[in-house]
Amino acid sequence: MSSKSYFVQKGQRGLVQPPSQPRTKVTLTQEAREELLAQRWKKTERFKQDLDGAWQQIDDTTKTIALANHKSVNHVQHKLYLGHSSFCTRRSKPSVWNAFCWKKTKEWKEQNTGGIICSLLFVCASLTF
């Protein structure tokens, strides 16, 4: 991104920014390419080992917590948001429909009228038409 501003004259079409400078292509020798590839592999291996170590620590801590509190490992993982529910979060606000149903149910309970389900279905049917 350029820090300078370039303006186009009225009626003139063209690029607002000047064309980018051509980059020089660097050709590496075979030894240099092999060295860079080896460095990438080493960095990847170190990263994987660090991640495996972190997950092993989390697993050990989860087992310790489960044994100390007489809970299952799955229960502790669920509470820590690990495992299959790692991407699940709680909703911070109710949906509009649930809030509407809750309000209507509360009103009908205060009036002590029976047939809440039938009334809700009637209200839903009347809202759609």
In this structure, what token pair is assigned to residue 30? 């075979």
In this structure, what token pair is assigned to residue 57? 């620590």
Sequence-distant (6+) residues with CB within 8 A of 78 are 85
Give the pLDDT confidence of 23-55 residue by residue, as tens digits: 888 899 999 999 999 999 999 999 999 999 998
Map residue 21 onto helix, strand or coil: coil
In this structure, what token pair is assigned to residue 116? 């809440």
Average pLDDT estimate for 97-126: 69
Number of domains within the chain: 2
Q: Could you give the percent of the chain with pLDDT greater than 70?
A: 64
Residues 65 and 35 occupy one common structural domain: yes
Query: What's the pLDDT at 124?
Result: 53
Residues 79 and 101 occupy one common structural domain: no
**Residue span of the structural domain in which 70 resides:** 29-90
Mean pLDDT of the chain: 77
Query: What's the pLDDT at 101?
Result: 82
Instruction: Kindly state whether residue 22 falls inside one of the protein's structural domains.
Output: no
8 A C-beta contact, residue 119 and residue 108: yes
Residues 113 and 125 occupy one common structural domain: yes
Residues 78 and 109 occupy one common structural domain: no
Q: Which residue has tokens 């009626």?
A: 11
Residues 112 and 76 occupy one common structural domain: no
